Amino acid sequence: MTLTQAAERLRGATLAELSADSVRAGRLRLRVGPVYADFCRQRIDGPGLDVLLALAEAVGLDRMRQALAEGDVLNSTEARPALHHVVRAAAEDVPGSVRDAQTQAVEAVARVQDWVRRLLDEGLGDAHPVRDVVNVGIGGSDLGPRLLDEAIADPAGSPRLHFVSSVDAHRAAGLMARLDPATTLVVLVSKSFGTEETLLNGRLFVDWLAATLGDAAMRRRVFAVTANVEAAQRFGVDPERCLPIWEWVGGRYSLWSAVGFSFALTHGMANFRHLLEGARAMDRHFFEAPLDRNLPVLRGLVEHWNRVAFDYRARCVVPYDVRLMHLPAYLQQLEMESNGKSVRRDGVPVEQPTAPIVWGGVGTDAQHAFFQALHQGTQVVPVEFIGVIQPAHAHDAHHRVLLANLLAQSAALAHGHEVRDGDDDDALAAHKRHEGNRPSTVILLDALTPESLGALIAMYEHSVFVEACLVGINPFDQFGVELGKRIARQFLPALASDEAAATLDPVTQALIREIRSR
């Protein structure tokens, strides 16, 4: 049976009927440490799962998983392995082929720890404590630390963490207007140290520190996290304050490395280490558990099923926990930058659709914004609900309402409702009708801790890898973001000169005329 045939069998089936099958449920529910996932409200059954597992076997998922573990050059277009999992591994977890990388990662975490201790104990070396930390970076150099910052509480009295990512200078200007340079530390996070936004924003902060405090004090307040130490040093960063990241860790997979420095400094080294521990536990599960009892694999198979067999073009991520407000944006980069590709590893066009549009918002706010379309719109969008069982506050009544809403939304999407109030006529009843049969997944964390968050993020990373393997693409490069950057460099002079603008296409010329006329 092909994937399409397996899906066709289920077009008429309701999620209510499917959910009554307890054997099926046993295959679609899984707990790994603090992460529990329930895929029972997906439009899939046992034979569908078998077809997906056969596909996993046919594409050599087991072999690919081993190749990832052993550090094979899976990022073939950039001739690199992908070793983000090694960064959080212990020596006994890894094979000899990646032992050297694991040692470097341990040394890097030790350097992070050493700086965190020095900066918190001794301050900035001129009698000033660190009160504010500005993380300057974009994409993977921003979204990970930003997600962690909001999700994990900081110990009392810790420095505050701020983020500057876009080249839009409103953020940087606002921060410089209110922060005290004497007590501010700036971390320039850029694997390449060539990202225009980060260099421009970094220059603003470096100049601000130098102008207000002088060069020597500025140099004590600027750190870089980069694989391009020479460029960071040319920029003016003290070599001792350059923390490493490596070509073999992709930007969107990098929060486990020194990219987590600003988080460790403001939220505690212990929290950072626990985050790595949580991810490490999920790694062990992913690399060791059989494919049919493997959470990242199961999720990857279900996602593939939704995208390929049912052609669902989007997926909505809705955490019911404000602390996870940045998860949708984080997953957008992780999934869309990894798998938003049109060719396979060998350069041949893919035969199936790839990454869906990933978007979302926080529950219950999202219910009052876009859930109308999820329930009654013409496009079916599978939803991924993420809930946290134990809150970190004492307001149990609120938390019960929050969880009740999560459960209600998933049930309402699945079962729909024929609403006819009192004397409603047919037309009004039609407006109120919820057709149901809209798939969703529920993921529950026991509590939101560094461990559970580490495990959750690692689960997503591996799941994205599984999806890439099923379609045969390389999830570790991102050539699609380069073209726009190149064109922006070409367009820059046109904003100032008629002559340069004259070489551009007519639409751009008209827009530039409008911009320059104001």
Asked whether position 159 contacts ligand F6P by CB under 6 A, the answer is no
Query: Sign of torsion, CA 144 146 149 151?
Result: negative
Q: Where are the beta strands (DSSP E) in 292-372?
A: 314-319, 357-360
Tally of CB atoms within 10 A around 25: 14
CA distances from 456 to 327, 388, 393, 411, 462 (A): 10, 12, 21, 23, 10
Asked whether position 367 contacts ligand F6P by CB under 6 A, the answer is no
Question: Binding-site residue total for ligand F6P (CB under 6 A)?
Answer: 14
Asked whether position 364 contacts ligand F6P by CB under 6 A, the answer is no
* Residue 29-68 contact track with ligand F6P, rule CB under 6 A, x = bound: ----------------------------------------
CB 378 within 8 A of CB 511: no
- In the complex with ligand F6P, the residue whose CB is nearer, 159 or 475, is 475
Q: Which residue is nearest to ligand F6P (CB)?
A: 251
- The residues, any chain, with a CB within 8 Å of residue 298's CB and separated by 6 or more, are 28, 30, 37, 39, 292
- In the complex with ligand F6P, the residue whose CB is nearer, 320 or 460, is 460
Can you list the alpha helix ranges (DSSP code H) found in 1-89?
Answer: 3-8, 15-19, 22-28, 46-58, 61-70, 84-87
Region of residue 132 (left: phi > 0; alpha: psi -120 to 50; beta: else):
beta
Contact with ligand F6P (CB under 6 A) among 138, 249, 309, 453: 138
- According to DSSP, residue 442 is labeled E
- Which H/E stretch holds residue 135? strand 132-136
- In the complex with ligand F6P, the residue whose CB is nearer, 225 or 403, is 225
211 to 270, contacts with ligand F6P by CB under 6 A? 251-252
CB 205 within 8 A of CB 185: no
Contact with ligand F6P (CB under 6 A) among 481, 487, 488, 510: 481
Q: Which stretch binds ligand F6P (CB under 6 A): 69-77, 133-141, 393-401, 422-430?
A: 133-141
Q: Report residue 107 CA to chain centroid gap.
A: 25
Contact with ligand F6P (CB under 6 A) among 42, 135, 141, 306: 141
Q: How far is the CB of 326 from ligand F6P (least distance, A)?
A: 15
Q: How far is the CB of 314 from ligand F6P (least distance, A)?
A: 21
CA distance 151 to 267: 10
Asked whether position 190 contacts ligand F6P by CB under 6 A, the answer is yes
Taking alpha carbons only, the member of 164, 183, 167, 185 closest to residue 175 is: 164
Task: Provide the terminal-to-terminal Cα distance of the chain, rounded to the nearest Å.
Answer: 63
Asked whether position 135 contacts ligand F6P by CB under 6 A, the answer is no
Q: Which stretch binds ligand F6P (CB under 6 A): 14-22, 124-132, 188-196, 428-436?
A: 188-196
Q: How far is the CB of 481 from ligand F6P (least distance, A)?
A: 4
Q: How far is the CB of 116 from ligand F6P (least distance, A)?
A: 21
Known active-site residue 122: no
Contact with ligand F6P (CB under 6 A) among 145, 386, 478, 494: 478
Taking alpha carbons only, the member of 480, 495, 514, 481 closest to residue 504 is: 495
Contact with ligand F6P (CB under 6 A) among 165, 184, 198, 262: 198
Contact with ligand F6P (CB under 6 A) among 71, 139, 181, 416: 139
Known active-site residue 162: no
Q: Which stretch binds ligand F6P (CB under 6 A): 31-39, 95-103, 190-198, 359-367?
A: 190-198
Q: Which stretch binds ligand F6P (CB under 6 A): 20-28, 72-80, 137-145, 319-327?
A: 137-145
Q: Which stretch binds ligand F6P (CB under 6 A): 184-192, 304-312, 416-424, 505-513?
A: 184-192
Contact with ligand F6P (CB under 6 A) among 14, 76, 113, 192: 192
336 to 355, contacts with ligand F6P by CB under 6 A? 337
CA distance 510 to 513: 5
Question: How many residues appear in the chain?
Answer: 518
- In the complex with ligand F6P, the residue whose CB is nearer, 132 or 337, is 337
Tally of CB atoms within 10 A around 194: 12
- In the complex with ligand F6P, the residue whose CB is nearer, 42 or 198, is 198
Known active-site residue 191: no
Q: Catalytic residue among 197, 337, 384, 467, which? A: 337
Q: Catalytic residue among 196, 368, 398, 418, which? A: 368
Question: How many helices and strands in the chain, by DSSP H and E?
Answer: 24, 11
- Residue with the two structure tokens 């004590």: 220
Taking alpha carbons only, the member of 214, 221, 239, 217 closest to residue 229 is: 239
Q: Which stretch binds ligand F6P (CB under 6 A): 46-54, 192-200, 321-329, 380-388?
A: 192-200
CB 234 within 8 A of CB 64: no
- The residues, any chain, with a CB within 8 Å of residue 510's CB and separated by 6 or more, are none
Q: How far is the CB of 128 from ligand F6P (least distance, A)?
A: 28
Q: Report residue 307 CA to chain centroid gap.
A: 19
- The residues, any chain, with a CB within 8 Å of residue 288's CB and separated by 6 or more, are none
Pairing of β 184-189 and β 222-226: parallel
Q: How far is the CB of 140 from ligand F6P (least distance, A)?
A: 3
Asked whether position 140 contacts ligand F6P by CB under 6 A, the answer is yes
Q: How far is the CB of 211 from ligand F6P (least distance, A)?
A: 25
State the residues that interact with ligand F6P by CB under 6 A.
Answer: 138-141, 190-192, 195, 198, 251-252, 337, 478, 481
- Catalytic residue positions? 337, 368, 485
